[in-house]
C-alpha cells in the first residue's frame, strides 16, 4: 500500500475539451507529477479532479502540467 499522506483534493476547470483523446493526455501529464495520487478528467464539464500532496505538487504545478497537455486551467473553490 503506497498511499500518500496529507493529500488534498483540488478541482480545476479548463476552458473546454474538444476531443475525447484529451482526457488521456491530461491524465498522463498530471499523474507524472510527484505527489499526485489520482487524477480524474470529466470531458463534458471540462473539470479535472486531482488528489495530491500539496507539499510535493502545488496547484501551480498542476496548472502547468495541464498546460503542457494544451489546456489553460484554473483552480476553483468547488
Partner 1 sequence: MNHVHSWLSGRWTVPTVSGLLILASLASSQLLGEPGWGDLFMVAAAVVAGTPVVIKAWRALTAKVIGIDLLVSVAAIGAVVIGEYWEAAAVTFLFAVGHALESATLNKTRSALAELIAVAPDVAVVLRDGQQVEVGAAEVREGETVLVKNGAKVPVDGVVSAGTGALDEASITGESIPVEKSAGDKVFAGTIATGGFLQVTATGVGADTTLARIIHRVEEAQDAKAKTQAFMDRFSAWYTPAIIVMAVLFGLITRDVVLALTLLVIGCPGALVISIPVSIVAGIGRGAKDGILIKGGEFLETSARVDAVALDKTGTLTEGRPKLTDIVPLQPDVDRDEVLLTAARAEAGSEHPLAKPIIDAANAAGLPVVGLPEHTEPVPGKGIVATLDGHRIAVGNLALIESEQGRDPSDDARAAEVGQELAAAGRTPMVVARDGRVIGVVGVADQVRDDAREMVRQLHGAGVKKVVMLTGDIEPVARSVGSQVGVDEIRAGLLPEDKLDAVADLQRQGYTVAMVGDGVNDAPALATADIGVAMGAAGTGVAIETADIALMKDNLLKLPEAVSLARRTVNNMRQNIVIALVTVAALLAGVLFGGVTMAIGMLVHEMSVLVVIANAMRLLRRHGGRTLDRPGDGTGTGTPARAGEVRTPQPA
Residues near partner 1 (CB under 8 A): 13, 15-16, 18-21, 24-25, 42-47, 70, 76-78
- Closest CB to partner 1 among residues 51, 56: 51
- Closest CB to partner 1 among residues 4, 25: 25
Nearest distance from residue 4's CB to partner 1, in Å?
Answer: 23
- Closest CB to partner 1 among residues 6, 72: 72
* Rounded CA separation 78/67 (Å): 21
Cell numbers for 78, please give them.
Answer: 468547488
Asked whether the beta carbons of 30 and 65 are under 8 A apart, the reply is: yes
* Rounded CA separation 49/60 (Å): 14
Amino acid at each position: 500500500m503506497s498511499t500518500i499522506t496529507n493529500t488534498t483534493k483540488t478541482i480545476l476547470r479548463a476552458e473546454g475539451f474538444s476531443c475525447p483523446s484529451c482526457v488521456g493526455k491530461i491524465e498522463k501529464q498530471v499523474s507524472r507529477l510527484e505527489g499526485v495520487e489520482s487524477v480524474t478528467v470529466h470531458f463534458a464539464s471540462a473539470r479535472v479532479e486531482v488528489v495530491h500532496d500539496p507539499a510535493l505538487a502545488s496547484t501551480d504545478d498542476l496548472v502547468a502540467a495541464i498546460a503542457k497537455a494544451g489546456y489553460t486551467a484554473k483552480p476553483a473553490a468547488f
